[in-house]
Amino acid sequence: MNVLIVSESLWPYGSGGELATFLFMKLLPKYGVHVRVVVKTGFRARELSGIEIYRISGLGYGKYFVPTYESNKLLTKLVSWSDVVYFASGLFNLIPSIKSLGKPVVVHLHSYSPICPVGSLYNFVTGSACNPKCRVCGECAWLYERSHDRGLPHSIGSTVLNSSVGSYFAKLLDCANALIFVSYAQRNLFVTHLRTILNSSIPRSYIIYNPVPDVKYSEPREVNVGYFGGLSPLKGYHVVLKAWARIFRRYRDRALFMTKMEGLGEKSIILRKINVFAYGRLELNELEQLWSRIGVVVVPSIWQEPAPYAVVETLLCGRLLIASSVGGIPEISVGAPGVRLVPSNDIDSLVDALDWGLSMDPRDVVELGLKNREYVLRKFDNERCIHRLTKIFDKVLTLKG
């Protein structure tokens, strides 16, 4: 079987969706699938030896990207080679033209894009999950951009486009032969909104949990707290900082390490007074050193996270996990012994959970962390993920025939 993978970019660029795509790319050839890849930006060919990667160019940004004439010719040639075209991350605007060439299209959805112009289905106006009967995309997009400290021209442009043309992209899913979601929670919320947009029936949908990366275990030397979500308010960095400011009084010998915090500026100096150490994006060796100092990881997201890799990697690393009970997080983590789930945006509950982790004997932290690792290795199986994905490819080919 020949599969053409279409992705906005490739890991280590991007986020969880790009990491999942990267892992699928490496696994599929081992099961007899011939893979070629098309990306718009960001990839390191040396990471994918043996896989043909093609880069297309064009005008526009993000989902408003239009490929050049030469890129369209290249796409036509690659689609002709393929049996199935697999949209793994973004570039949904290419679906109709590729579908017109007669090949089945499978779309793997790692966020709430394109059903939500900003990909989160979080209503910044009400501070809750978006209601399909009361979508306020214009005002919400504006608040989203400003909460992420985007400049005024960018914020205005994004708001205008996402509240008008942006609603068109969800209708592109009507062309897909199958949709793949990464959790039941994501599918339920996504499909509820999709029904209000599509006049036709919803394409066949499936659940495939993301493949797990090869993460080695190393025992924590200290029991500090880690946060890896960056400065996005959706990830809840402000929530963990408020909780830490309260819990620090009881644990002045502990620290909170935060990554992807570029742009924090002078505030990082002030935070040092309460043992908060903020870093930008770290290299792999730097992350490994940091993990050795962390015994507890907090994932305080306020949106309905589909299936965050931060949760899976925390369990694989053998650390205690404190996370918001939102989206697909309970599906991934419920059953692991060293996990505490708390209501999102609830400072009191997060303080109690941090107290639970930080007050624990270090030997118990290690023991529970190892049990967390055993749990996730039992629950997720990459061979099963690939088997389910290839079965979907087979089904769309059979239905096409």
Q: Which of 262, 283, 260, 257 is nearest to 272 (CA)?
A: 257
Per-residue pLDDT band for 171 (boundaries 50, 70, 90) equals: confident
E strands, 66-104, are 66-67, 84-89
Query: 8-17, 23-32, 45-54: which range is least confident on average?
Result: 45-54
Residue 140 has pLDDT above 90, yes or no: no
- Is 137 within 8 Å of 120 (Cβ atoms)? no
The whole-chain average pLDDT of the chain stands at 89
Confidence at residue 197, expressed as pLDDT on a 0 to 100 scale? 81
Residue 162 has pLDDT above 90, yes or no: no
Q: Which of 145, 97, 89 is nearest to 117 (CA)?
A: 145
Confidence at residue 46, expressed as pLDDT on a 0 to 100 scale? 47
For residues 64-87, give the mean pLDDT: 91
Q: In what order do the strands lie in the sheet with 294-299?
A: 276-278, 256-258, 224-227, 294-299, 320-324, 339-342
- Is 225 within 8 Å of 357 (Cβ atoms)? yes
For residues 218-236, give the mean pLDDT: 94
Which residue has tokens 């996370």? Answer: 323
What confidence tens digit (pLDDT) does each residue in 241-285 have?
A: 999 999 999 999 999 999 999 877 667 788 899 999 999 888 888
Cis peptide before 362 (omega within 30 of 0): no
Confidence at residue 48, expressed as pLDDT on a 0 to 100 scale? 61
Confidence at residue 242, expressed as pLDDT on a 0 to 100 scale? 96
Query: Token digits for 368?
Result: 């529970």
What confidence tens digit (pLDDT) does each residue in 11-20 have?
A: 878 788 889 9
User: How far apart are the C-alpha atoms of 276 and 232, rounded to whole Å?
Assistant: 17
Per-residue pLDDT band for 44 (boundaries 50, 70, 90) equals: low
What confidence tens digit (pLDDT) does each residue in 298-327 have?
A: 999 999 999 999 999 999 999 999 999 999
For the chain, domains (ranges, CATH) are 2-117+163-210+381-400 (3.40.50.2000), 224-379 (3.40.50.2000)
pTM of the model: 0.91
Tally helices (H) and strands (E) across the chain. Answer: 14, 17
For residues 1-11, give the mean pLDDT: 91
Residue 43 has pLDDT above 70, yes or no: no
Q: Specify the length of the chain in residues.
A: 401
Q: In sequence order, which ranges of 28-67 are alpha helices (DSSP H)?
A: none
Query: Token digits for 91?
Result: 């570039």
Q: Could you give the angle at the alpha carbon of 83 between the alpha carbons of 15 and 13, nearest 5°? A: 15
Please report, in angstroms and rounded to a whole number, the separation of the first and last CA atoms in the chain.
15
For residues 221-229, give the mean pLDDT: 95
What confidence tens digit (pLDDT) does each residue in 322-370 have?
A: 999 999 999 999 999 999 999 999 999 999 999 999 999 999 999 999 9
